[in-house]
Amino acid sequence: MAQIGVFYGPEKGSVEKVAQKIAEIFGADRVELIPVKGCEASELARFDKLIFGVSTIGKTNWDTEHTANDWDVFATKLKDVNWKGKTTAIFGLGDQLTYPHHFGDAIGWVYERLEAQKANVVGFCSTEGYTFEESEGLRDGQFMGLPIDEDSQPDQTDVRISNWVNRLINEFGF
């Protein structure tokens, strides 16, 4: 059985691509990739180590009449999980140049929901190397997870993922 559940959404885009890269570095035998679309709380309960991947900008940011997206639905299930003994981390996609006032906001959105459940969140990252104005993904001067900018800094993605996963190996206790 895989030791780490990587829950991500949306599918078929940069979030899924980053989730696959994370799984590759950890090792396919350690990771199970699970789209949040249609995911139940019982899937979360199977893992003691969980990584959540989300995109900051998407249809819900532009469509005021949207129906609940995959993450809106999935987030309601977090309350149905026993978080004792679980360690979590978050990665988020964003575009710091086009959306400098919202870069990595979804990291903060996921963090707030995990914090409300008293989940142990690790994997905070420095703001060094990023250029943005504001982010709801910050706490005490650090991102509450790994921000990835596939639009403005795709050349940094692999190194950032590798460094983050190597830190998570330690923070997850492997």
pTM: 0.91
φ, ψ dihedrals at 11, nearest 5° = -85, 165
Q: Which of 119, 31, 109, 17 is nearest to 71 (CA)?
A: 109
Query: What's the domain count of the chain?
Result: 1
Q: Is the pLDDT of residue 64 over 50?
A: no
Mean pLDDT of the chain: 89
Range(s) of the domain holding residue 105: 4-171
> pLDDT of 24-41, one tens digit each?
999 989 999 999 998 998
User: What is the β-pairing status of strands 31-35 and 4-8?
Assistant: parallel
Q: Which of 11, 15, 5 is nearest to 161 (CA)?
A: 15
| pLDDT value for 68 | 53
- Here the CATH number for the domain that contains residue 152 is 3.40.50.360
